[in-house]
Amino acid sequence: MSRYHGKMNKAFFPLLAVGLGAFLSAPDPIRLRSESLPFTPKEFYIAAVTDQRPDKGPVARLVLALNQSPQPVDLERGITSSFQQFINQGLKQNKTLRPIAMRIRQCRVSETAVGNRITGQFTFAVTFELLGKDDAGATTSTRLTDYQGSANYTRPLDHLDVVEPTIRQAVVSSLRSLNEYMKRESGRNEKLARSLRINFVDDTRITTDDTVHYNTARKLTWADFQAPPRRGSHYAAEVFTSFAYEGKSTVKDGVIILNLTAKAYMLKSSSWARPDARNDYALNHEQRHFDIVKIIVERFKRKIQPDSLTLEDYNSITQYQFIESFREMSQMQTQYDDETNHSINQVAQERWNQKIDAELHTFGIKK
């Protein structure tokens, strides 16, 4: 009789190591008996079994005679081939489902003799990983969940039939737990998502605090320039504009829904203008700095599309595109000031007015 205990994600699943196996006479290898598993996976198939044990020797050290050291006994055909064959024979493998790799981290039977009885200890641990492909076609793997189990048994010296079912039922229990995990997590776990949807909204709030959000109904006024003029500056005015985004993802029915909020904004407390420069022409120049930020935001939004992101790296790709857009904004602002000579060159200023209006029009922002 044996007692088997398995756990997955710190939850324990009892497994009875009871059953008749073929009598194994030493030193014959252990052959896992074929067994039709009592469930059919709807979310996965086992595409690979790999041996990642630190000690890749025989799985068992069995007491075959009293007053003798335990002898090494392995699974027939080795652990990976034996497990894969058992899975292929007992589990319906639908290869249109998600490919899962079973990584064996522990599988060991250790026996000792106590009088004329043999006690055995069995430890078992596997990791299940989702297999995929990167952009270059190389195989990738994403860790999903772990399974750990253990068993203790006592047997007469001449009965080895408890060893095989103990190992076999550990494999069955791990697969059953994986099946439950996949049924539970397939629709809500980001690692198992099949597609990505993006919802972009603009923060266009009109407020009375320090921040002015870009809104076509709310143009800049000189009252927004509340900082004292910078001493020693050669400029008549300076506007502080920038942009940011916030994101939150959820998973529903296997779809990652990425909700992003884009914000083009101006800070009153960091913007200033000399009293003698507060005219409509100069204010237009500063408004155009704000318009450029909005243009960059719209370009950024168009870079963040499902076909340009991956399910595994959408967050890092979005951050990278944000940094690139921020760099693009700085370059465009510098070019604008250089060519208009900070609004002194009226011909260049008018050219930039038209250029900015044209691009805002393509985004549906300016009629």
For 264-306, how does the pLDDT look when each residue is reduced to its tens digit (9 = 90+)? 999 999 999 999 999 999 999 999 999 999 999 999 999 999 9
Cβ-contact 305, 198 below 8 angstroms = yes
Claim to verify: residue 248 and residue 354 sit in the same structural domain? yes
The pair of structure tokens assigned to 266 is 């101006």
CA distances (Å), origin 114, targets 122, 129, 155, 156:
17, 40, 10, 10
For 303-344, how does the pLDDT look when each residue is reduced to its tens digit (9 = 90+)? 999 988 988 889 999 999 999 999 999 999 999 999 999 999
Q: DSSP string of 122-188?
A: EEEEEEEEEEEE-TTS-EEEEEEEEEEEEEEEEEETT--TTHHHHHHHHHHHHHHHHHHHHHHHTTT
What is d(CA 229, CA 241) in angstroms, rounded to the nearest whole number?
17
Peptide bond into 14 cis (omega under 30): no
Claim to verify: residue 175 and residue 201 sit in the same structural domain? no
Of 156, 186, 216, at which residue does a domain stop?
186
Q: Mean pLDDT for the chain?
A: 91
CA 164 to chain centre: 38
Claim to verify: residue 214 and residue 332 sit in the same structural domain? yes
Q: Is residue 367 part of a domain?
A: no
Q: Is residue 357 part of a domain?
A: yes
Claim to verify: residue 30 and residue 61 sit in the same structural domain? yes
The pair of structure tokens assigned to 8 is 């997955």
Of 168, 186, 204, at which residue does a domain stop?
186
Q: What is the count of structural domains for the chain?
A: 2
pTM more than 0.85: no
Claim to verify: residue 164 and residue 250 sit in the same structural domain? no
Claim to verify: residue 172 and residue 224 sit in the same structural domain? no
Of 135, 163, 186, at which residue does a domain stop?
186
Claim to verify: residue 179 and residue 254 sit in the same structural domain? no
Claim to verify: residue 68 and residue 141 sit in the same structural domain? yes
CA count, 13 A, side-chain hemisphere, 149:
31
What is d(CA 287, CA 281) in angstroms, rounded to the nearest whole number?
10
Claim to verify: residue 13 and residue 44 sit in the same structural domain? yes
Q: Which amino acid is at 275?
A: P
Q: Is residue 138 part of a domain?
A: yes
Claim to verify: residue 200 and residue 164 sit in the same structural domain? no
Domain that holds residue 325: 195-362
On the question of pLDDT at 161 being above 80, the answer is: yes
